[in-house]
A and B are shown apart, each in its own frame.
Chain A
Amino acid sequence: MGEQSFVPSNIMTKYDGFNYDRDREIYSAARVRALESLLIEKGIISGETVDKVLNYFETEMGPFNGAKIVAKAWTDPAFKAQLLEDCNAAVSNIGLPVGMSGAEGEHMKVVENTAEVHNIVICTLCSCYPWPTLGLPPYWFKDPTFRARAAREPRAVLTEFGVELPETTEIKLWDSSAQIRWFVLPAQPEGTEGMSEAELAALITPEAMMGVALVPSPSAA
């Protein structure tokens, strides 16, 4: 390890020249560390900067927020109405992070699943996602085949995710972008009436909030 010396002719565009994934991994990992060390040396970031950002996602921005919001919407009709009307305001009113200015959460919008309409959220161009409510997107959300197929054949993709919908249910696709990051208010499953918000929140997954899963009834869970 460490015997080879890489001197690529230009930055980051010669990956096809690497024959082995291992070489590419070594190169990528070193490249990222090199970038960080240079930025630290120049005083642009500190040694703690990245950890602070990552920690924020561990503790402040994650699907635990979205689950709380959904559970509250299921139990509080006034909150639900506000959520559907002005998501960012509703989220900040219950003390949850609104989102970093200009980044993924500045304008969030919620769409509600009903018996008539099932919503799916994707980002066809990259990976736009409502970070404050759902945290970071899973790898498959960013996958080129998922992004293309969900746009072209959402019903088939849903089936592959194990979601079978009646033919009469309309499927609506929402493409997140710089302007709006969508997430789904899933339908409340049967058998959950009378459950507390905390109990409900425990049932709600990020997949359900993206529209590629249904929230299971507790007996099925």
Chain B
Amino acid sequence: MQLRFEHFAATSLMGSEESPPRNNGELKFARDWEGLAFGMALALAKKGHYEWEDFRQELIASIEEWESEHALEDESWDYYQRWLIALERLAVESELIDEAELEQRTNQIINCSHEK
């Protein structure tokens, strides 16, 4: 587990510049964290913490929120940001984590702290 932190600290917080996996010429994930968010959303459903349909509904809501506040062509559109929002909401709702510890851990990572 510690290896992930160290690896993460060693690479840029901006996401990996290494070339992500490609599929038929199309990038599967443009940024490392997208794949991570994707994998977690699936894994948690597979492990029975929520139904995949619950995630889909959160995703739909998250997308709808963005669309209601932006012109559809707005360049700030970022699919995996919407995915991440859905994932976090569901993780909190499923009582897997709470907001406070997520924020705290996020800040630790940003500040490259290795304390737990």
Contact = CB atoms under 8 A, between A and B. Distances in A.
Interface of A: 1-2, 4-8, 10-13, 15, 22, 24-42, 44-45, 47, 49-54, 57-58, 62-63, 100, 102-104, 125-128, 135-136, 138-139, 142-145, 148, 178, 205-206
A33 B36 contact: yes
Given A1-B13, A2-B112, A58-B21, A39 B40 contact: yes
Given A39-B96, A102-B45, A26 B1 contact: no
A138 B22 CA distance: 11
Interface residues of B, number: 70
B-side interface mostly: helix
Contacts of B33: 28-29, 32-33
Given A32-B84, A62-B23, A100 B106 contact: no
Contact of B88 (A5, A35, A45): A35
Contacts of B15: 25, 29
A33 B8 contact: yes
B102 A36 contact: no
Nearest to B55: A103
Interface of B: 1, 3-5, 8, 12-15, 21, 23-24, 26-28, 30-33, 35-40, 42-47, 49, 51-53, 56, 59-60, 63-64, 66-67, 72-73, 77, 79-81, 84-85, 87-89, 91-92, 96-97, 99, 101-103, 105-112, 116
A-B pairs with the 5 shortest C-beta distances? A50-B39, A34-B105, A53-B39, A144-B72, A32-B33
A205 B43 contact: no
Given A145-B72, A178-B56, A103 B45 contact: yes
A51 B39 CA distance: 7
Contacts of A27: 106, 110
Contacts of B36: 32-33, 36, 50
Contacts of B96: 39, 42, 44
Contacts of B30: 139
Given A26-B13, A142-B79, A148-B72, A35 B43 contact: no
A53 B43 contact: yes
7 contacts: A11-B99, A13-B85, A30-B107, A35-B87, A35-B97, A139-B79, A144-B77
